[in-house]
Structure 1
Amino acid sequence: MTAAKLPAACETKDDVRSEIDRIDQSLLTLLAERHRYVTRMAEIKTDPHEAFDPVRIEAIIGKVRSRSLDLELDEDQAELLWRTLIDWNINYEKGIIAARKRAR
């Protein structure tokens, strides 16, 4: 595997695309890891309503917005991405919990 190039070192569109592809692979790996924890959380929770925790959600969004600013990332875009991820996870957890309850 070749070393990562800094954005300023990318001289062509192919250079930039190659770096984006590298980052996308890392993001997918991290999302898969995160998903395993979401799955475990769904196994621990006992009621589908537990999947939606507005206090926890807003705490997460607050951290994401703050950390985004520290990383010079638009906090509105980061929030949108995280809210989408959280919504997917809530629906996924609800499905697992409900299916387990039906199987009893």
Structure 2
Amino acid sequence: MSARKRPAECATKEDVRAEIDRIDSALVELFAERHGYVTRMAEIKTDPHEANDPVRIEAVVAKRRQQAQQVDLDEDQAELIWRTLIDWNINYEKGIIIARNRNK
């Protein structure tokens, strides 16, 4: 594997693309790890309505917005990413809970 380059050290489009690919690969690994915890949460919850916790959602989004600001990432972009991720997770959890409750 080639050495990691900072953005300013990338001299070509290929250099930039290689770094983006490296980061994307790491993100997939992290999303997979997160997904395992989302699946476990769905196993713990008993009612599909538990999948949507507005207070928790707003707290998570606020934390990510604050973190984004600290690392010079557009807060609106971070919020959009996390709300999309959370919406997908809510539907995923509901599906697991509903299917499990049907099989009881």
Normalised by the shorter chain, which TM-score bucket?
over 0.9
Deviation, 1:59, is 0.2
Opposite residue 81 of structure 2, the aligned amino acid is: L
Q: How many residues align?
A: 104
Equivalent residue, structure 2, for 1:16: 16
Unaligned runs of 5+ in 1: none
Unaligned runs of 5+ in 2: none
Distance 1:71 1:58 in 2: 20
Deviation, 1:95, is 0.1
Aligned counterparts, 1:48-87, within 5 A = 48-87=48-87
Equivalent residue, structure 1, for 2:33: 33
**Percent identity (aligned):** 71
Distance 2:3 2:13 in 1: 17
Distance 1:15 1:44 in 2: 44
Query: Please, what is the CA RMSD of the aligned residues?
Result: 0.4
Deviation, 1:3, is 1.8
Opposite residue 44 of structure 2, the aligned amino acid is: I
Distance 1:39 1:49 in 2: 16
Distance 1:80 1:59 in 2: 14
Opposite residue 50 of structure 1, the aligned amino acid is: E
Q: TM-score, normalised by structure 2?
A: 0.99
Distance 1:3 1:43 in 2: 41
